[in-house]
Amino acid sequence: MIRLWLPLVVLLLWAAAALGAQLLPLTPNLIQLEQILATPEAGAVLGYDDLGRAIDARIIVGARTSFLVSIWVVGLSLLVGTLLGTVTAFHGGWWDRVAVLGVDIFLAFPGILLAIALAGLLGPGIGNVVIALTAVGWVGYARLARAQVLSLQHREHVQAAVALGSSKWRIIRRHLLPLMLAPLIVEATFGIAAVVIAEAGLSFLGLGVQPPTASWGAMIRDGARYMLVAPHMVLAPGMAILAVVLSVNLLGDRLRDKLDTRMTARTGTQS
């Protein structure tokens, strides 16, 4: 079993590369014609691409792109989905029916295809990628928040707050949201991995960040034409995506186990 510290190290390196990329003396867009498709060497441990640019520098800059997109998309999706699912479920009635209908409509379309369509309509760019992925990403959080509210609103402490005349917003803020945080955080953790893959896919199709800005998906697209002569152009960004997504999923699994109160109680009973 992979130890917890390894995924943590990978994610810390990802975050450090994303936040510190602008502080490092990198030249990701420097073209060196004599180094076109050159294999890894001391000056560039991951080699050079089809324009003679150092792949390691572009990997670091690409980490910033994937990190910012994932944080923005997951944050906005979590905020919108949680508020919509919580408020509509707690009010009930036609509010809840309309929200469920909207969620069902979005779920009827494959999320990545809808994101591709939206990104194509909005045009390329990192801001439009965030909008497109957020437009399809809020659905899972809304459905989860709604299920949690329907489960929690019949508990004794919530019914007591209703009987005492507490406002709906106070009940949601003080009695529902704290108990919903654990499953929502776990869902957001897995959402980061999904957004990293989605951003790479959109960039691969030319709908993400535009040249010369580095993106892991765009690097794979550029290297696909040279797979036989320069496989390092695809392997380097591909391994970066694999490492980040696998690390996020491993930490998400561990976090889910830690926050699962039923599993914790069962483990304590057995011991």
For residue 2, the model assigns a pLDDT of: 54
The residue among 153 and 263 whose pLDDT is bigger is 153
| Tokens, residue 266 | 């069962």
CB-CB neighbours of 97 under 10 Å = 11
Query: Which is nearest to 129 in space by CA: 211, 220, 196?
Result: 196
For residue 267, the model assigns a pLDDT of: 41
Give DSSP secondary structure letters for 250-261: HHHHHHHHHH-H
| Tokens, residue 151 | 């489960």
Q: Is the pLDDT of residue 100 over 70?
A: yes
Q: Is the pLDDT of residue 266 over 70?
A: no
Highest mean pLDDT, choosing among 146-150, 244-248, 253-257: 244-248
Residue 134 backbone class (left: φ over 0; alpha: ψ -120 to 50; beta: rest): alpha
Q: What is the pLDDT of residues 153-198, one digit of tens each?
A: 777 777 787 777 777 777 777 778 888 888 888 889 999 999 999 9
For residue 171, the model assigns a pLDDT of: 79
The residue among 231 and 109 whose pLDDT is bigger is 231
Q: Tell me which DSSP letter residue 48 carries.
A: B
Query: Which is nearest to 49 in space by CA: 260, 215, 256?
Result: 215
Q: Tell me which DSSP letter residue 2 carries.
A: -
Q: Is the pLDDT of residue 59 over 90?
A: yes
- pLDDT, mean of residues 132-157: 87
For residue 160, the model assigns a pLDDT of: 83
Distance CA 232, CA 213 (A): 19
Q: Tell me which DSSP letter residue 54 carries.
A: B
CA 131 to chain centre: 13
For residue 213, the model assigns a pLDDT of: 86
Q: What is the mean pLDDT of the chain?
A: 85
Q: Is the pLDDT of residue 264 over 80?
A: no
3-state secondary structure the chain: CCCCHHHHHHHHHHHHHHHHHHHCCCCCCCCCHHHCCCCCCCCCCCCECCCCCEHHHHHHHHHHHHHHHHHHHHHHHHHHHHHHHHHHHHHCHHHHHHHHHHHHHHHCCCHHHHHHHHHHHHCCCHHHHHHHHHHHHHHHHHHHHHHHHHHHCCCHHHHHHHHCCCCHHHHHHHHHHHHHHHHHHHHHHHHHHHHHHHHHHHHHCCCCCCCCCCCHHHHHHHHHHHCCCCCHHHHHHHHHHHHHHHHHHHHHHHHHHHHCHHHHHHHHHHC
Distance CA 89, CA 84 (A): 8
Full-model pTM? 0.86
**In the block, which residue shows the tokens 């830690």?**
258
Q: Give the type of residue at 270.
A: Q
* Domains present along the chain, CATH in parentheses: 5-21+47-260 (1.10.3720.10)
Give yes or no for a contact between 177 and 168, defined as CB atoms under 8 angstroms apart: no
